[in-house]
Amino acid sequence: MDHILIVSGRFYDHICDELVRGASEFLNGKASFNVISVPGALEVPSVIRYAIAANSYDGFVALGCVIRGETSHYETVCHESARALSLLTLQFNAAIGNGILTVENEQQALVRANVNDGNKGAGAAAACLRLIELKKQFGLGRRP
């Protein structure tokens, strides 16, 4: 059974709780998993990199939420978190399902996070498992 690390950027706890719930429910019975929380979306790639170095997980689910505010900080967080996750995938053949929401307002985030609606947590977990399958298909080994 594959072993997954769910990393949750907790800047918006109520939204992240639902994302983690969706990912956890999806993975239950399909893979073992651990959940680690970090302050926000920018810290998620760092923890995934630490876990890659430890070689303890087959794949990763990146969860978090970035809501547009009044400053350009939104753009920085959205772009840099996505860029860092992409680099980890490319540099280390890491199987990462990206479930970091980038939205205009809280209502959009709630719809996307809700396990009975958008369920982006489950979508990120499904992407992670599919990438693990593909890594195995290409002979890239069990862990990054």
Regions in the chain scoring below 70 on pLDDT: 141-144
Sorted by where each begins, the domain ranges of the chain are 3-137
pLDDT of residue 69: 87
Catalytic machinery residues: 73
Give CATH for domain 3-137. Answer: 3.40.50.960
What's the pTM? 0.96
Rounded to whole angstroms, the Cα distance separating 134 from 103 reads 30
pLDDT of residue 71: 83
pLDDT of residue 143: 56
DSSP 8-state symbol, 43: G
State the amino acid at position 47 in one-letter form: V
